[in-house]
Amino acid sequence: MQRRHFLRQAGALAAVASSGGLLAQTPRSMPAPVQAPALGQQPFAEPKPLAPIRASADRVISVTVCTRPFRAQGPRIEAERMGRRTVIHHYGHGGSGWSLSWGSAERAVALAQATGETEVAVIGCGAIGLTTARVAQRAGMKVRIYAKERLPLTRSYLATGVWSPDSRICTTEHATPQFRALWNQMARGSFAQYQRMLGLPGDPVEWRDSYALSDVPFNQPAGGGGEDDEPDYPSLESDLIDDLRPHSQPLSAAQHPFPVPYARRYTNMVFNLAAYGRMLMDDFLQDGGELHARVFESPRQFADLREKTLFNCTGYGARDLLGDASIIPVRGQTARLIPQPEVDYGLYWRGHNLNVVPRRDGILVQAQMPGDFNNADTTVSRATTDAAVAQLARLFPAS
């Protein structure tokens, strides 16, 4: 989540009615006062304490860096005639590719349906390529994917893995009424699709509680988040789809165990990318999809393909392939700590550049740094990860 984005959300928050007592957590340092239930009233079970995260540098199992394919004007979803082929460009989803993938693919596939072709090619096998392929299959098309890398070796696999549909999706200046309408449709379409994936084997998608922590009141700037050199992004989620998920709620000191003066609890969707990516690949192949390893040096090579309608889902790769300089790299580094299945909550510590997601394949620790915008350098900074893990450890002093 973006720091500024959370601030805006926090300003407009309304408490979720009736959940305060039910969800309250017992501080680990203090025994909870025991109160006798009123006569005839069955108490709910005492809320479980939160399991501490074992935050230490020797538990880091991977550190990766990836660039978000950001476009100031938003993703490119448009058909272009190239010789005898129709190429449907479908790339540039910034920090929202997983979140918007299904709704965005519906838009792209509608353009393909207009060509009347029923055999189509998808170039790219990341979040966007695979979901485009799945939506095309559901529309009755025969689909072949051609890609340099496939999941889990694509950039998409290096994402944080949360519902973040307006993260670096366009700049405020480009959030026109037309774009807002398109985004609204993409976000709602994707959201609905993800609710159908809950409870599946391997938990590809889950809802998780998270705690936003702060040293200063939430309506005051916290500083130090690493995004100050970025453009202004519109708060599309709170403007347009505020009805889709519960609002965050303030917690009293007795309702959370963290050594900070201000905390709120919110709920978010987590994408367990290992299980989710595997599911997408399996479903694609089971529905008769074909996958071919192929590198395109130039769009002229699209003419070599037998399909007349192609989706160009090359993500950041479109920058080189098409010479499309509208794609701006926004660097992001994430690390994973050894999985702790008992940790079922996320964390976001304002002003400390710390974002933690309880994924099944590890506790994901993200740190956004100053200078990440328009930065294509994918060199790992182990020192940055160690600093983030050390910050995280400060939240668990007793562990």
3-state DSSP assignment of residue 86 = strand
- Give the containing element (helix H, strand E) for 74: none
What minimum distance in Å lies between the beta carbon of 197 and ligand FAD?
Answer: 14
What minimum distance in Å lies between the beta carbon of 120 and ligand FAD?
Answer: 16
28, 148, 188, 360: which one contacts ligand FAD (CB under 6 A)?
148
What minimum distance in Å lies between the beta carbon of 159 and ligand FAD?
Answer: 3
Is residue 132 within the footprint of ligand FAD (CB under 6 A)? Answer: no
- Sign of the torsion formed by the C-alpha atoms of 159, 162, 164 and 167: negative
CA distance 54 to 48: 18
What minimum distance in Å lies between the beta carbon of 221 and ligand FAD?
Answer: 24
Phi/psi for 246 (5° steps) reads -60, 150
- Sign of the torsion formed by the C-alpha atoms of 263, 395, 225 and 241: negative
Contact 318, 182 (CB under 8 A): no
133, 162, 281, 392: which one contacts ligand FAD (CB under 6 A)?
162
Is residue 161 within the footprint of ligand FAD (CB under 6 A)? Answer: yes
Structure tokens belonging to residue 15: 């408490």
9, 255, 267, 314: which one contacts ligand FAD (CB under 6 A)?
314
Of residues 270 through 309, those in contact with ligand FAD by CB under 6 A are 294-296
Q: Which is nearer to ligand FAD, 129 or 257 (CB)?
A: 129
- Contacts for 342 with CB less than 8 Å, ≥ 6 apart: 51
Q: Which is nearer to ligand FAD, 126 or 257 (CB)?
A: 126
- Contacts for 252 with CB less than 8 Å, ≥ 6 apart: none
Is residue 96 within the footprint of ligand FAD (CB under 6 A)? Answer: yes
- Contacts for 158 with CB less than 8 Å, ≥ 6 apart: 64, 65, 66, 332, 334
66, 77, 135, 136: which one contacts ligand FAD (CB under 6 A)?
66
Instruction: Using the rule CB under 6 A, give the single segment among 39-47, 90-98, 279-287, 337-345 that binds ligand FAD.
Output: 90-98
Closest CA to 94 of 120, 72, 65: 72
Amino acid at 270: V
The reply to whether omega before 152 is within 30° of 0 (cis) is: yes
What minimum distance in Å lies between the beta carbon of 364 and ligand FAD?
Answer: 9
Is residue 105 within the footprint of ligand FAD (CB under 6 A)? Answer: no
DSSP bridge partners of 123: 146, 312
Residue owning tokens 């965050």: 248
Contact 283, 200 (CB under 8 A): no
Is residue 127 within the footprint of ligand FAD (CB under 6 A)? Answer: yes
Q: Which is nearer to ligand FAD, 114 or 295 (CB)?
A: 295
In the structure, how many helices (H) and strands (E) does the chain have? 9, 14
160, 210, 235, 353: which one contacts ligand FAD (CB under 6 A)?
160
What minimum distance in Å lies between the beta carbon of 270 and ligand FAD?
Answer: 9
Contact 235, 166 (CB under 8 A): yes
Closest CA to 231 of 82, 21, 73, 64: 73
129, 189, 225, 257: which one contacts ligand FAD (CB under 6 A)?
129
Is residue 373 within the footprint of ligand FAD (CB under 6 A)? Answer: no
Q: Which is nearer to ligand FAD, 25 or 154 (CB)?
A: 154
Residue owning tokens 């109160």: 35
Instruction: Using the rule CB under 6 A, give the single segment among 112-120, 150-158, 198-206, 248-256 that binds ligand FAD.
Output: 150-158
Instruction: Using the rule CB under 6 A, give the single segment among 147-155, 203-211, 220-228, 239-247 that binds ligand FAD.
Output: 147-155
What minimum distance in Å lies between the beta carbon of 294 and ligand FAD?
Answer: 6
Of residues 327 through 366, those in contact with ligand FAD by CB under 6 A are 332, 334
Instruction: Using the rule CB under 6 A, give the single segment among 214-222, 233-241, 314-322, 347-355 that binds ligand FAD.
Output: 314-322
In the DSSP assignment, the letter for residue 373 is: B
Binding site for ligand FAD (CB under 6 A): 66-69, 91, 93-99, 123-129, 147-149, 154-156, 158-162, 164, 294-296, 313-317, 321, 332, 334
